[in-house]
Amino acid sequence: MPATDDEPKIYLLPNLMTAGNLACGFFAVLSIFQGILVATSKEAGYDFALAQPFYERAIMLIFASCIFDLLDGRLARLGGKESPFGREFDSLADVISFGMAPSLLMAKAVLFPLDHYVDGLGWGLACIYVLCGAVRLARFNCIAASSNHNPSDTDFRGIPIPMAAGFISSLTFLIIYLNENDRDLGIWKFVLAGAMLCLSYLMISNVRYPSFKKLGWRTRGTPLVIVGGVVLLVVTVRYRYVMPVMLFSAYLLYGLVVRPFLPKRIVKEIEDEEHADDSQEENPKSF
């Protein structure tokens, strides 16, 4: 068999988006390290105010990674072809952007005071988050590659790691903004520690979350939906400290406490997008 037959199929556009996801995650980690170095350069000890701009930049980079992650799946499904390389590449990028970067941010920007209560507690919580995120990604890849996988089942088992990272990062973004003059986030560090543990569990749980994979480039809309989308975008940019956490919270709560109690007909109307183009292929994430 020629060696070229073993070469994986690499589709340009979706994998460029994945590369953008990875690059944003890498620079987010670098920004966090810069914040740590600046904050600890003074003899007075850890100065949170000096590190805050670097932590906020890291959070914005994590948000950018979320956008790239959304685009790579959409572009892959637009091509309509399965690519194991893209699936594996995406998972590797996600470990950095949505696993390592948020956990490092939490450990040094928020949870470091917990070490005064139990030595290494902040790092331990961050490690649990990364571990659960990696397990969740590995499970997703195994399910997607399984011959028993039903292509019509597009639900996620456990909250997707980009959504977990987006929620914890947006909540941190808001709390840092509200406590910008404080060296210690007070009770909020315990709230964020609890949220991080809950998200770690949700990633490896069997709670079903919608993927909205049927909502693609060919999905039809109405003028009202378009106007509403533009208004939502403007409001999100205007109130950038508040809106991201509200949007990520809505998704988290929808899968956790709303969706299980809705009639299947209502769930289908919300998620299947009846106005989608009939010619659109309804495949699982294929890149």
The domain ranges of the chain are 10-271
Helix, strand, or coil (residue 72):
helix
C-alpha–C-alpha distance, residues 221 and 236, integer Å = 21
**More confident position, 228 or 164:** 164
Rounded mean pLDDT of 30-36?
90
Residue 81 has pLDDT above 70, yes or no: no
pLDDT exceeds cutoff 80 at 151: no
Greatest CA separation for the chain: 66
Q: What is the DSSP letter of 257?
A: I
| Alpha helices by DSSP H, 80-120 | 84-94, 101-105
> pTM (2 decimals)?
0.85
Q: What are phi and psi of 208, to 5 degrees?
A: -90, 130
What's the confidence (pLDDT) of residue 228? 85
Share of the chain above pLDDT 90, in %: 35
> Residue 247 is inside which H or E element, if any?
helix 243-253
* Residue-wise pLDDT tens digits, 226-264: 888 889 889 998 998 899 999 999 999 998 888 888 888
pLDDT recorded at residue 89: 92
Place of tokens 């290494």: 120
Task: Quickly list DSSP for 77-145.
Answer: HHHT---HHHHHHHHHHHIIIIIIHHHHHIIIIISGGGGGTSTTHHHHHHHHHHHHHHHHHHHHHHHHH
Query: Which pLDDT tens digit goes with each residue over 85-94?
Result: 888 999 999 9
Question: Per-residue pLDDT tens for 18-29?
Answer: 999 999 999 999
Which residues, at least 6 apart from 124, have a Cβ–Cβ distance to it below 8 Å?
none
Q: What is the pLDDT of residue 79?
A: 66
pLDDT of 186: 72
| Short-list 173, 163, 180, 190, CA closest to 252 | 163
DSSP lists the bridge partners of residue 211 as none
